[in-house]
């Protein structure tokens, strides 16, 4: 569905993910992160997976149980509110 995303960082561990597409309708959304990749699910359907920089971004996401998603297509006015809230799932190597 999309191949990249951006991150807005706030104070402490606050973070919001900017998604460049409108998400499919779903009752729940999940962001699943490891230190090397991030996956997005709408309900049970995986809608995107991509590598990302990990590090501080991983720590911020991993320190939250839910995260805000803002859908913003290039050229559109940036929204004034969070579009969706996703549950956070942390995948760590054992």
Per-residue model confidence as pLDDT tens digits over 3-53:
999 999 999 999 999 999 999 999 999 999 999 999 999 999 999 999 998
66 domain residue, yes or no? yes
Q: What is the structure's pLDDT at 86?
A: 98
Is residue 90 scored above 90 in pLDDT?
A: yes
30 domain residue, yes or no? yes
User: For all residues of the chain together, what is the average pLDDT?
Assistant: 94
58 domain residue, yes or no? yes
Domain with 51, as residue range(s), is: 6-90
Q: What is the structure's pLDDT at 92?
A: 80
1 domain residue, yes or no? no
CB atoms within 10 A of CB 17: 22
64 domain residue, yes or no? yes
**Banded model confidence at residue 74, pLDDT cuts 50, 70, 90:** confident
Measuring CA to CA, how many Å separate 45 from each of 30, 40, 41, 49? 10, 9, 5, 12
68 domain residue, yes or no? yes
The domain tally of the chain equals: 1
User: Of 36, 40, 94, 34, which is closest to residue 67 (Cα–Cα)?
Assistant: 40
């Amino acid at each position: 569905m999309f191949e990249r995303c951006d991150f807005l960082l706030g104070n402490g561990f606050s973070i919001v993910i900017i998604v460049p597409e409108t998400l499919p309708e779903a009752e729940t959304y999940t962001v699943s992160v490891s230190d090397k990749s991030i996956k997005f699910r709408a309900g049970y359907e995986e809608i995107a997976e991509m590598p990302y920089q990990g590090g501080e971004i991983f720590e911020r996401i991993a320190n939250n149980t839910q995260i805000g998603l803002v859908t913003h297509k290039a050229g559109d006015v940036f929204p004034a509110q969070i579009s969706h809230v996703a549950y956070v799932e942390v995948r760590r190597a054992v």
